[in-house]
Amino acid sequence: MRKITSIVAALLLFAGNVFAVDEATQLFYTLRTKVLTVKDYTADIRLKIDVTYMRIPQLKGKLFFKSPDKMRLERNGGLSILPKKNINMTLSNLIPTGQVTVIDMGKVVRNGKTLRLLKVVPEDELSNIVLTKVWIDEANTLALRTETTTHNDGTVIMDLEFGKYIPYALPDKVTIFMDLKDYKLPKGVTMDYNDVPDAAAAAKAQKGKNQKGTIQISYLKYDINTGLSDAVFSKPDNG
């Protein structure tokens, strides 16, 4: 009798684990479906770049996006730093497509909120994404943070804040943590070391391999799913 009870308990535990895995996978697919409902958008943005050794004025402009990976920035004056590749400018390119394996890492608390942490591994061997970690607000089905490791672009970390456009999973603000070796500087950028305590150290940091910084993008207004033409993206970015 005791042996039968142990077998039943083991089967119930196995079934519970299977259910947890299926639930986590479904949560990821629901999130991904929500993100991918946005086929294109035009957004008025304010962009702030924070680099310790460089003074860069705040940028305003328009950001054009068309699924899956077309993007163009039209700036209104000022200077901008753009990634050589646009992978880390939009959430839809930071989560794997196709079949995936989802690993449920359980509940975590971040910035006072209880979130569900998932690790997502694409099953497509040709995918540029190796692994994505997603911190999910389950109540609203929103990704509040992603950490994506790629074959070609290193690791991209992005924090997202939501407000007016929650039904589309479009953020009001995004903070991208970047490695500057993957970014191009616009022509005419001048370095200003006057505000840095050690100008020599700042100059050395500029030449180093581990240059870090952040890009903050505030989305002031979206026009969503208007059917943007591919011709919009044939124009060069301002930079």
Contact predicate 158/215, CB 8 Å = no
Query: Does the pLDDT of residue 197 top 50, yes or no?
Result: no
* Amino acid identity for residue 120 in this structure: V
Q: How far apart are CA 151 and CA 81, in angstroms?
A: 22
12 three-class SS: helix
Compute the average pLDDT of residues 105-116: 96
pTM confidence score: 0.76
Q: How far apart are CA 60 and CA 163, in angstroms?
A: 20
Q: How would residue 179 be classed by pLDDT, with cut points 50, 70 and 90?
A: low
Q: What pLDDT, on the 0 to 100 scale, is given for residue 161?
A: 97
Q: How far apart are CA 75 and CA 82, in angstroms?
A: 11
Compute the average pLDDT of residues 149-166: 89
User: What are the C-alpha distances in Å from 211 to residues 27, 151, 183?
Assistant: 35, 20, 10
Q: How far apart are CA 108 and CA 85, in angstroms?
A: 31
Strands 212-224 and 59-66 come out as unpaired
Q: How far apart are CA 230 and CA 190, in angstroms?
A: 34
51 three-class SS: strand
Query: Does the pLDDT of residue 19 top 60, yes or no?
Result: no
Query: Does the pLDDT of residue 108 top 80, yes or no?
Result: yes
Query: Does the pLDDT of residue 236 top 60, yes or no?
Result: yes
Q: Residues of the chain with pLDDT > 90: what percent?
A: 44
Q: Between vectors from CA 145 to CA 144 and to CA 150, what angle results, nearest 5°?
A: 145
Contact predicate 108/93, CB 8 Å = no
* Amino acid identity for residue 212 in this structure: K
Q: What pLDDT, on the 0 to 100 scale, is given for residue 212?
A: 72
Q: How far apart are CA 208 and CA 53, in angstroms?
A: 12
For the stretch 46-102, pLDDT in tens is 988 887 666 677 888 999 999 888 888 888 765 444 544 444 567 887 888 889 999
Mean pLDDT of the chain: 78
Q: Which of 73-82, 103-112, 217-226, 228-237 has the lowest mean pLDDT?
A: 73-82
Q: How would residue 41 be classed by pLDDT, with cut points 50, 70 and 90?
A: very high
Structural domains in the chain, CATH included, are 2-224 (2.50.20)
Q: What pLDDT, on the 0 to 100 scale, is given for residue 44?
A: 95
